[in-house]
Amino acid sequence: MAELKSISVPTTPFDDQKPGTSGLRKKVKVFQQNHYTENFVQSIFNALGCKVKNSVIVVGGDGRYYLKEAISHIIKIAAANQVSKLIIGQNGIISTPAVSSLIRSNKTTGGIVLTASHNPGGINNDFGIKYNCENGGPAPDNVTNEIFELSKKIKEFKYVPDLKTCGLIETIGVTTFKVDGRDFVVEVIDSVENYVNLMKDIFDFGKIKKLVNQPFNILIDSMHGVTGRYVERIFVEELGADVNKNVTHTETLEDFGGEHPDPNLTYAKSLVDKVKADTSYDLGAAFDGDGDRNMILGKNAFFVTPSDSLAVIANNLECIPYFKKNGVKGFARSMPTAGAVDRVAQKLGKEFFETPTGWKYFGNLMDAERLSLCGEESFGTGSDHIREKDGIWAVLAWLQIIEHKNMSVEEILNEHWCQYGRNFFTRYDYEECEGKGANDMMATLESMLTSSGFVGREFSSLGKTYKVKVGDNFSYVDPIDKSVAKNQGLRVLFEDGSRLVFRLSGTGSSGATVRLYVDSYEQSNFKNDAQDILKPLVNIALEMSQLQKFTGRDAPTVIT
């Protein structure tokens, strides 16, 4: 075996490599700049310090454009940094939840996830790089801050230029290289096997299979993202679904077919239309590009909000074998998520946590065995089986619950609302605004919210009046390591329990995206349309923030 030598390549820093809510996300063309990807990957290894030597790292991504080039750089940089082994999905493909699972079951040092998640792909769109720690979860703020600091000072990266990566990750198998006198191993694995086994451990596949063949008619939409191969293996091969009728868009495409691989009513419209048009469908579901998000629809495209989905699953965990075996610890949701799960936690006597936006904030609570189930309004649901949200897991959880209760999706929701009341929720996104306007809006709003006299003020619209109880900028103290996350969103809490939340997105790749979250609760009046119920609060939010004046936008780009 030819002996390979590492070299040190001089480089100059970029000043924009700050990871956001979940990793570094930029346009592909930004990552393609000379040394841009290399600098960031080396900065990850630099931040790991002495843990890199002899480390084992999982590498995988959602199949988007630039994945293979990025992996080629990662292999050459890892080899030069004395990593002992990389575990890479075949063709570089592994869903985000499956990376988390692989890190945990192989007890690796960590993982590098190559995805911009729900952002569009292709040469003119987005790419992303994220580091996950040994617990399988996205690196916490202290680690990503360190990566950013190091990226601003980087002077060189290590590289093995002669290591041939061409064709290396296309076939399953193990290749060993000699680099600087040490062994460096690249193990290429089946992208789905570990994950399928995990799901079989968690759920009763026998019962779900019976349901799917009843026939309970499902339509699972992979939106041309990474989940295609997982869906075919799990829903078609294992659970007996019909490949022509029950699954769609399962071919992973570099540009996701030119669409946003984002499972919501706007971007998964083709699923909504199909489930509406064909009333034989009992459940529709879609996933995002990297497979960690999910959307659940019932018959006639009856929409389940992610906040309700979380609450329903929380209320029915006993029919899922994993929870029967391991017990149910606490529940959590991100701050902007509507509070439906809070009431379930209260009734069941479970501990409950409200965390900032981003899955990384759930990890410590799970590691400390205080959290079993959590979710975000942004179509994320998951449990402590891994440390990422998990789209396929959420659909399997729903199918297990439907089989157990022998009720339709809509019946389950109606029963839930009868018991707990209903949270109405909507999110308005104003994507790619000009940065200055968005920042000025947030600054002006924050000074208003925190000024004396704001509490107690009344706001009215369409005949409804709301009185302010609290106005603040959300900050969070991690109950486990006491780390503090500040500036996590401006909140206005009204006396009747309704809420407005304003945040700037941390996942966009250009400009600023303003998110407005509106949430209110009705004890009994739950048959109404969410957008009607929330209209007065939306008006108040727009007026209070002077959003149109600051951003120049008179309508959101997406409503969820």
Residues that bind Co ion (CB under 5 A): 117, 288, 290, 292-293
Three-class SS of residue 188?
strand
Q: Which of 89, 356, 358, 536 binds ligand VG1 (CB under 6 A)?
A: 358
Find the angle CA(293)-CA(298)-CA(300) to the nearest 5 degrees: 125
Q: Is 376 in the site for ligand VG1 (CB under 6 A)?
A: yes
Report the distance separating Cα 264 and Cα 249, nearest Å: 15
Q: How far is the CB of 96 from Co ion (least distance, A)?
A: 6
Q: How far is the CB of 334 from ligand VG1 (least distance, A)?
A: 6
Given ligand VG1, Co ion, none, residue 62, with its beta carbon under 5 to 8 Å by kind, binds none
- Closer to ligand VG1 by CB, 289 or 298: give it: 289
Would you say 275 or 335 has its CB closer to ligand VG1? 335
Residue 21 binds which entry of ligand VG1, Co ion, none, CB below 5-8 Å type-dependent: ligand VG1
- Shortest Å, Cβ 256 to Co ion: 12
92 binding partner (options ligand VG1, Co ion, none; Cβ < 5 to 8 Å by kind): none
Kindly list the distances between the CA atom of residue 232 and the CA atoms of 117, 188, 243, 250, 519, in Å, as whole numbers in the listed order: 20, 21, 7, 7, 37
**In this complex, which beta carbon is closest to Co ion, that of residue 290 or of residue 478?**
290
Give the shortest CB-395-to-Co ion separation in angstroms.
15
Residue 118 Cβ vs Co ion, minimum distance, rounded to whole Å: 5
- Reduced to 3 states (helix: H, G, I; strand: E, B; else coil), residue 295 is strand
Closest CA to 271 of 254, 282, 284: 284
Query: Considering CB distances under 5 to 8 angstroms, the limit depending on partner class, which of ligand VG1, Co ion, none binds residue 72?
Result: none
Stretch that binds ligand VG1, among 216-224, 324-332, 374-382, 527-535 (CB under 6 A): 374-382
Question: 63: which 2 tokens?
Answer: 């199949």
Other CB atoms within 10 A of residue 54 CB: 12
Q: Which residue is nearest to ligand VG1 (CB)?
A: 117
- Closest to ligand VG1 by CB, 132 vs 334, is 334
Q: Which of positions 19-38 make contact with ligand VG1 (CB under 6 A)?
A: 21-22
The crossing angle, in degrees rounded to 10, of helices 409-420 and 340-348 is 70
Tell me the closest approach of the beta carbon of residue 209 to ligand VG1, in angstroms: 28
Six-digit token string for 294: 């999910």
Closest C-alpha to 538, from 519, 553, 512, 522: 519
Name the minimum Å distance from CB 325 to ligand VG1.
28
299 binds, among Co ion, ligand VG1, none (CB under 5 to 8 A by kind): none
Q: Find out whether 170 and 186 touch, Cβ atoms under 8 Å.
A: no
- Out of ligand VG1, Co ion, none, what residue 378 binds, judged by CB under 5 to 8 A for its kind, is ligand VG1
112 phi and psi angles, rounded to 5 deg: -115, 120
Retrieve residue 379's tokens: 């179509």
What gap in Å lies between CA 310 and CA 298, rounded to an integer?
15
Min. distance of Cβ 306 from Co ion in angstroms?
Answer: 13
Do the beta carbons of residue 377 and residue 337 sit within 8 Å?
yes
Contact present, 216 and 245 (Cβ < 8 Å)? no
Binder to ligand VG1 among 64, 73, 76, 293 (CB under 6 A)? 293
Question: Closest CB to ligand VG1 among 330 and 382?
Answer: 382
Catalytic-role residue among 22, 43, 72, 117: 117
Both tokens of residue 113? Answer: 């996830």
Integer CA distances (angstroms), 530 to 302, 303, 498, 537, 547, in order: 13, 11, 13, 11, 22
- Work out which of 26, 491, 515, 553 binds ligand VG1, going by CB under 6 A: 515
Question: How far apart, in Å, do the first and last CA atoms of the chain sit?
Answer: 56
* Sign of the torsion formed by the C-alpha atoms of 404, 406, 409 and 414: negative
- Amino acid identity for residue 244 in this structure: N
Write each residue from 88 to 127 as x if it is in contact with ligand VG1 (CB under 6 A), else as -, in one continuous string.
-----------------------------xx---------
What is d(CA 310, CA 305) in angstroms, rounded to the nearest whole number?
9
- The answer to whether 117 is a known catalytic residue is yes
358 binds, among ligand VG1, Co ion, none (CB under 5 to 8 A by kind): ligand VG1
Alpha-carbon distance of 478 to 485, in angstroms, equals: 8
Q: For residue 497, which amino acid is it? A: G
Return the number of the residue (62 or 342) whose C-beta is nearest Co ion: 62
Nearest CB to ligand VG1, comparing residues 77 and 501 = 501
- Could you tell me which stretch among 11-19, 70-78, 273-281, 375-383 binds ligand VG1 (CB under 6 A)? 375-383
- Cis amide linkage into residue 215, ω under 30° from 0: yes
Task: Name the residue nearer to Co ion (CB basis): 217 or 383.
Answer: 383
Residues within window 479-508 making contact with ligand VG1, judged by CB under 6 A:
505-507
- Residues whose CB falls within 8 Å of the CB of residue 337, separated by 6 or more in sequence, listed in order: 306, 307, 310, 375, 376, 377, 425
Q: Which is nearer to Co ion, 221 or 288 (CB)?
A: 288
380, 382, 437, 489: residue in contact with ligand VG1 (rule CB under 6 A): 380
Which DSSP string do the residues of 452-502 spell out, in sequence order? TT-TT-EEEETTEEEEEEEEEE--EE-TTT--EE----EEEEETTS-EEEE
How many residues interact with ligand VG1 (rule CB under 6 A)? 18
| Smallest distance, ligand VG1 to C-beta of residue 94, A | 14
Q: Residue 491's binding partner, choosing from ligand VG1, Co ion, none, with beta-carbon cut-off 5 to 8 A by kind? A: none
Contacts with ligand VG1 by CB under 6 A lie at 21-22, 117-118, 288, 292-293, 334, 357-359, 376, 378, 380, 505-507, 515
- Name the residues annotated as catalytic: 117
